[in-house]
Amino acid sequence: MKILDEHNDLKHNLEQVSGKNITIVSGFASGTEPLIDTLLASGNRVDMLVGTVNSFTSPDFIEHCLRHADAGLTLSVDFRYQASVNWKLVLIEPDVVIVGSANFTDVGLGLSRDTCVLIEDAGLYAGYLAKVAALKATGGVLLCSESQRFDDELDAYRQVHLRMQAGLARSSQYLDGESWLADETNQSIPLFIWYSDHSEQSEDEARAHLRSSSDGVAWDDVREFFTYECAEGALPYEEGDVVLTARCNGSHIGFYTFDRILYRNGTYYIYAYRKTRYAQPFRLDDARERLRDAIPHWYEDCKTAVTRSDIARMIE
């Protein structure tokens, strides 16, 4: 048995494995798509099972695994949310068991704050392999090949994940993007990119709709308003969300709280109120220049959220 640490971490140990069957169970997986690619490129067969506790597992990670489902990777997802598996386990044939507190994330695998032990024991390996098989047979744990049911559950999970992340963006504030990334529960932030300035008519309409609403906020108390045309119920934001906003050319970048949302005749009117202090997940100072370059591309891609990988590229 040996104890792994940040000087001989789990990521390094996995990168040395080739031509093996590897079983990975993690309560939370995010940002480690490159390691999956490395394992597969080294001729390994990977059987992956991820949980959904607190909806932390990234849908992007799940979708990346799905794209490799025919290239040596098998994916199962435990869609039981708070009842989901929370193991941190790696099995490498024929007899290696790695168990500890490290989720399948960059911070987890780097062992800067987690720990795990590597044990070579054929009996323990066989025992855990049997437990994983039993877990995969549990109701709510779905193999990706169960296509329609899996797809339906993944669509629902994606929405729950985004709402959970929007909640975190409202409630947590960090000094900078690096500090935000250091907390791996942070996976995404809502994004709203608009095309053009408001016309005099749209401003008059927004003022009239606000006046007719029941919250009693005067137009002079409105810091900014936005419009979004879509079917009722299709808006990817909710009242209270803290949203990164910008014009499609990369200007007017800032965080706004969507304090009031009204739907009128095919258009959502979104109001941000004046406050003494404005909420923001982190300061944008170091990221503005790269955001200006990225936002036009995000607009073309119709993005409504920025991910950890997006933000990491902005501050690197």
Q: Is the confidence at residue 52, as pLDDT, over 90?
A: yes
142 shares a domain with 244 = no
Spatial contact of 206 and 213, defined as CB atoms under 8 Å apart: no
Residue 241's domain spans which residues?
173-315
Q: What pLDDT does 27 receive?
A: 96
DSSP characters for 269-288? EEEEE--SS---SS--GGGH
Does a cis peptide bond (omega within 30 degrees of 0) precede residue 296?
Answer: no
| Residue 62 CA: distances (Å) to CA of 79, 174, 247 | 12, 27, 31
Q: Is 8 inside a domain boundary?
A: yes
- Is it the case that residue 145 has pLDDT exceeding 90? no
Question: Is residue 10, in this structure, part of any structural domain at all?
Answer: yes
User: pLDDT tens across 27-43, in order?
Assistant: 999 999 999 999 999 99
Q: Tell me which of 1-5, 159-163, 169-173, 266-270 is least confident.
A: 169-173
3-state secondary structure 5-46: ECCECHHHHHHCCCCCEEEEEECCEECCHHHHHHHHHCCCEE
- CATH code of 85's domain: 3.30.870.10
pTM: 0.86
Cβ pair 180, 282 in contact under 8 A: yes
Q: Which secondary-structure segment (H or E) carries 60?
A: helix 59-67
Same domain assignment for residues 143 and 57: yes
pLDDT > 70: percent of the chain:
100
Please identify which residue in the block is written with the tokens 């002079």: 220
At 10 the pLDDT is 96
Is residue 136 within 8 Å of 61, Cβ to Cβ?
A: no
The reported pLDDT for the residue numbered 153 is: 96
Predicted confidence at residue 297, as pLDDT, reads 97
Q: Is the residue at 227 inside a domain?
A: yes
Number of structural domains the chain divides into: 2
Alpha-carbon distance of 181 to 186, in angstroms, equals: 7
pLDDT band at 216 (very low <50, low <70, confident <90, very high): confident
Segment 12-25 shows an average pLDDT of 97
User: Are 148 and 274 contained in the same domain?
Assistant: no
Based on the fold, state whether residues 206 and 105 are members of the same structural domain. Answer: no
Sheet holding 254-257, edge to edge: 254-257, 242-247, 188-194, 305-307
- The residues facing 105 across adjacent strands are 30
**pLDDT bracket for residue 286 (50, 70, 90):** confident
Please name which of 196, 185, 8 lies closest in space to residue 103, comparing C-alpha atoms.
Answer: 185
pLDDT for residue 108? 94
pLDDT at 316 over 80: no
Specify whether the CB–CB gap between 90 and 23 falls below 8 A. Answer: yes
- Which one-letter DSSP state was computed for residue 114? -
Are 187 and 282 members of one domain?
Answer: yes
Same structural domain for residues 154 and 253?
A: no
Residues 6+ apart with CB under 8 A from 179: 282
